[in-house]
Amino acid sequence: MNEAAFAQWAREHNEGEEFHCKKDQVYVLSCGRKTYTWFVKEGVMFTAMQTENSEGELANSVWRKDNMVHSLDEDIMLPFHALTDATLVRYSSAELNRQIREDAKLSWWLAEYYHNQFTRTLSNYRHAALDASEDRLAYLEDMFAQIDELKGERISDATLASFMGMHRVSVSRIRKKLAKEKSN
- Distance of alpha carbon 103 from alpha carbon 162, whole angstroms: 39
Going from the C-alpha of 121 to that of each of 57, 66, 86, 103, 160, the distances in angstroms are 6, 17, 22, 27, 18
CATH number of 3-102: 2.60.120.10
Q: What pLDDT shows up at residue 54?
A: 47
pLDDT tens-place string over residues 100-130? 889 998 889 888 877 777 776 666 555 555 4
Q: What pLDDT shows up at residue 124?
A: 57
Q: What pLDDT shows up at residue 15?
A: 93
* pTM of the complete model beyond 0.85: no
